[in-house]
Structure formats: C-alpha cells, structure tokens
Structure 1
Amino acid sequence: MIRKNGINSDGNSIGKVTKSDQRVYISQAHMQFALDVLSSLISERFNMKTHLLESFVFSPLSVQSVLMMLHLGAKGKTKAEISNALYLSKLDNNVTFSTTHEIFGGSVKNLMQDNAISNSLSMANQIFVRKDLQLSATYKLALSHYYATSLTPTDFTRDAFRLINDFVAKHTKGFINNFLTTNPSSATGILPVNALYFKGTWQYKFDERETDTDAWFQLTNGQRSKVTMMVGKFPVAYGYSHSMKTTIIELPYSVHRLGLFLMLPDEVKGLFYLIRSLNATTFTTLITSMRKSKNDEINIRIPKFEIETSPSLTTTLRNHLGLRSIFSNGEADLSGMFSRSPVAIHVHEFMHKAILKIDERGSVGAAASAAIAERIGSFNGKFFEADHPFLFFLTDKQSGLIIFAGIYSGPLEKKFQ
C-alpha cells in the first residue's frame, strides 16, 4: 500500500493525539489522505510503454466527504479500514458523538457558510437508498448533524440513473451532466453522492493580450507539445525547497481564504521525486516557507488548461489505501446505517468525476464524489515558468481542506516534437 506517515511533527509514526491538537491533526490527516490518493493516481496514469504521464484532477474534499458518510455507519473491520485510510484511527469514532466528524464536518460547514465563499463554492451531499431498506434514526441524525445530508428513497431498477444525474447536474450548476453513464446495479442498496462546484476569479488577473498561444511544454518522455501560456507579473507568495528541488507559488483568488498552489520541480522528471518526498509534514513546511512582498513581483508563465477526469477510485482505495472489506460482499459491515441489518450490503464501486478549468480570469471546477522550517532559497531571478509537469492544489488556507488536487503534464492529444 502507498502509505506515508507524515502527520506529526517528527514525520514518524502517528502517536497519541491530545485534545488541543485534534483540529490540526485532522487537517494534517486530510492532507495526507489527499497525497496518498494523488500518489496512487500517478502510478495508475503513468504509461510504462510511452513514458507519458496523463494529466488528472480529483477532489480530496469530495472523496473524503463520501468516505466520512460511510464511516458513520460502518462497524468492525470496515470502520477500522476507513479510519486507517483517513488517518483517523487515533480519535473518537462513535456514531452518536465523534470528535472526528465534529471537526471535519465543522470545517466544511465553516467553509460553505462563509458569505464571501457562497458565490464561488457550493457542495451538497445525498444518500440514495433502496426503498425497502430502513436507515436507523441514529445514523440519519448523525448524517444531518455533521454533513447536512438528505436521503432519497430510490428504486434502483428504474429511476436511479435520472435522479442521481439530476442531483449532480443541479449542484455542479450543469458542469457535470453525465456523472452516471449506465444504470446502477439493481442490487444496489445505498449510493452516497457528494457534488461540489467552484468558480473563482484571480486576485491578480492575467491579461489575455499577453497570452502566448504558441508555447512549448516538455513532456515526461522527453518530447514537447504546444500549449497556450498565460503570462503575468504579480506580487504573489513564493518559496523554494532545496531538498525537494521544487519551487512553489500561490495564485490567490479574490476570495482570500482560497488559493491555488503550484509546485514546479526543477527537472522535467522531478515530479516523481517530488511526490515521493511529499507527506503532510513536508507539504506544510513547503507552504509555510512561502514569502510575499508587495515590492517583489514574480514573472509567471503557466499553461491555460481544462482537465476532466473520471477515475474509478475503487482500485486506489482497495489496493493502495487498504479499504478491502467495504468492497467485498459478505465482509462489508455497514450495519450501523440500518435499523435492521440487511443481507450483504457492500460498496460495489467508488465513482468520482472532477473537472477543473484554469484561464486568465480564474478557475471553474466541479467534482462529484512540524518539521524544522527549511531555509528559503533563491528564486531563480523571480521567474516561475511552468513549461514541464507540475502539481496543483486548490486549498482553503483557513481549514487546510483541499478542494482540488492534481497534475498537469501536458496536452497529450496534441502533436509532439
């Protein structure tokens, strides 16, 4: 399994968590989970024959929201596996009261209820449940309390396809219209869905007249591809890690608590070393090392792009993060969801779809589903030119929630040189 223990201050195994540290711990746990999924998806999307890495995007916030809803109703081995995958096993995980859910759910509520955010970000949770199944009153109360989740009795033999696609389309403002491409199995018992939509404008907008429509981008196999580069000079936060050989900048949004962090390795293939070096501790160190000066502007060139990804996360969650029993008929224990335990309820597939568009005005996206501080290095003449693969993280800087994460590795559909 791809597991990195990088949550506590020394970067070693996770120890006992005190109450005063719980909020920071859960933020770090969320970050580590996001990095685990990111690392797994890189492995899955790297073609060993062509040596090309495919660009992708996913929403850690959306994925974890669904897992947290499942965690509320899981018991035994299934609950333990979800807790381990999310690095939450050290905390109180009772259904009726849970520090874990209180803090994570509270962070999400705080983000979504921020008046400055409301026009930029929206999220909704829904559980579609087979009509003959009765959810327990305790589970329904916990869902409502922590995640404002509503329930929809569903006939999975008839109307599930329409109901679920309509829900996702509505709450992503039409950005995702075809979340499901086929009808769910008629044997489906429950289907938890999270839909998320984001539209943000930059604090410093790129001038479209400066955009370079004929720029080169270096791919992981040594070839080059043409891209459209946005060009600007802004007083943004930046930093450099000598150990990871990586430059980082933040492109801030007009909603100041949100930022797009770009991590650019020195070398074209440095992305693979960077992802091996990243864990929650090194990620936080890199972010906190950043500096900003109003009199120190950075020359920026980054690709204009749109990425749409529909990864089935079943393989990632089962094979790399250890969530095995929940996908196994006969092993899954989701009995905490029901007033009467049904026969053989398990998760058949974990579906997720994410879209992120970056242009001169900002971003549009949708998704359904302390180490010792490092000394800052020089910034190579104050240039940030993303002409080879880089990581990106669209983050709520207040809570640490990662709304979108992914890799841009070039437009593989275009001609190479």
Structure 2
Amino acid sequence: MTAQPRAPRRTPLDSVHRALGATMTDFAGWEMPLRYGSEREEHQAVRTAAGLFDLSHMGEITLTGPGAGAALDHALTGHLSALAVGRARYTVICGDEGGILDDLIVYRLGEQEFMVVANAANAQVVLDELTARAGGFDAAVRDDRDARALIAVQGPRSARVLAALTDAGLDGLKYYAGLPGTVAGRPALIARTGYTGEDGFELFTAPEDAEPLWRALTEAGAADGLVPCGLSCRDTLRLEAGMPLYGHELTAGTTPFDAGLGRVVRFGKPGGFVGRAALEAAARRAEDGLPRRLVGLVAAGRRVPRAGYPVVTADGSVIGQVTSGAPSPTLGRPIAMAYVDAAYAEPGTPGVAVDIRGSREPYEVVALPFYRRER
C-alpha cells in the first residue's frame, strides 16, 4: 500500500493568518503565510518601522542536566558550555565529514538548561543527532517543538512596540541575549535575535498564548506602522543582510569554512567534537585559499537571478552558481549570493554575469552584506 503524504502542519496562529487574508504556502511541512498583501510593503515596514512574524514552525530542542553543556560542545562546533546564562550563540551542527547539517541558535536558559533552535526542515535531523550525540553525557534531550510558539517583532521601532507590553528591561538586553518575562501578561522568553538585519525580538511562548500575544502586539504597534509579515519578505530581508539560508548557501556538502563561517568552529574548546578532523582539514584548505568563495552580486539591469543559475564570464565560461536571488526593495535592483571561483571573488571584478535563461546579464561583484543597519 502506498503511504499517503502527510498533511502540512498548522501553527497556533493559522486562523489569524487566514482571517487576515494571507497567501498560505507549504513550507518544510508547515502551512505558513507567504505574504498578506504586498511583500515589498512588508519588507519596507521592517526596514523603516516594524514587522510581525509567525515563526512557530522552527524547531526547539531542550537539553538539561549537569552534562548538557559538555554534550553540546561535543555535538556542535561552538563552545556552548562557556555561554553565560541569558546569552545566545549562533553555531552549526556538522556531520563526520564536516558538512553542515543545520545552522542553529543556542540559548542558555540556566546553569543546566539550554534551548537549541533548528530550522523547520532540519528539526528532526537535529533532534535525532543531538539525542545520539548526547549519549554518554549526563544530559537529557527533550523535543519541545509542540511546546513552544515563536513570534518575532523586527524593525527599528520593535523595541518601542514591545516596551508598551512588558516591564522587562529591554534597554539592557544585548543582541544575542534573552530573558524571561511577560508580554501582554503572557509568560515569554524575550530574545534580542532575528533574521532580518534589523533590531528586533523573538518571543518564545506557550502555543495557547500565541494568538492573544499576536493581537496585543498588533494593537500596540498600530501607531508605529507595524504590519504582519510573511516568509517572502523574510527571505528578501535576510538576503539583503547577507544571512545564509540552509539548503542554499549552507548544505551537507558545505563546510563552515567554505561558507565563510569559520568563526563558529572553536577548536580550542576542551574535548573532541563531531567532525573535528574533517574541519581541521577544511581550515587548512581555507588558509591555502578556497577555490570558490561566497560573494554578493548586484544587477546592472532588471532581470532577477534564481538559485541554481550559472555565474559566467563574458565568453560564457561558468565560474560559479547563484545560491539565492531576489529583487532588493532597499537597493532597487536584483541581488544574489553566489559561490564563484576565487579569481572572480574580489569586489569590482569586471566581466561577471549571470546566465538567466540563456541571456548573460551583467552583475557587479560586491562584498556582503548588501545592507547594514545604522547602529
């Protein structure tokens, strides 16, 4: 008997999205809002005011116990046992051969408690790997994907919107830090993190609190121009900010050093970790000069590149491949990230184009990110 495909899962905010008229899409096995109206307007709201995102599809995994930090040091590339309580760190989980299985954020919630946030598409893989890799450590791994909803408020006015609903000390909350508090009377972990290139907050809360919290944020942010935002503008925001996306810039065939993320590999931490030997070899290759590098590309014209399109020279020789591409509302031109041969990776390198359906469209090589907010 042929197995029936599983129906996409729905977040606790599904009825809210549909009532708002969102265009829904199947993303990593979840029904998620793609846009509510104009994705360009949603993008610009995050850049100039504030946007509200449902990120409840992300995968939360909790490790507890005296050996939780050591287990994460073994399982991931970062030195997580050195993380202070209340702080977060970006890191990756690699396979034995050094390839990236997912990029993650790890929050230290207590002396013996950590929360790992995985991408929705990889959450089960990360859960299985952490469970296996924690064996032998005095640590328990718990799947909290159904126990948490996640709402993000992003943009230059996000702190003002959130401050109206909480007495938590937002002014003292650093980037990549989190603290427990209440928002609109609902318990939440308030984290100053995001995936848009703007200041913002991610609120981890109980699923039953997600809808009243969303409505309270919507009301509090109305005067500041806050709008609901979908996955489409989240992608253009992260692309402008030069943030990698798993399955595009990051893959199981890509090491952190290939992706320019060598900083997340901490060889100096005590003990070994999964993939260490392969990553040491990758680090040596990087010192000698990688054959391909991740760069930014900005179009001279209007045609938009997409993932998988060849990057070519004037004579049509293939020198790389686009990993992500989209129109940039901020720059007003199409942009892309791409892996290209090292000889063509320096900003301003002449004669670089993208083959868009048989037409060689000229592109300027630029340093990442395309956009950096004012601090």
TM range (shorter): under 0.3
TM-score normalised by L of structure 1: 0.22
TM-score scaled by structure 2? 0.24
> Which structure has the higher relative contact order (CA within 8 Å, separation 6+)?
1
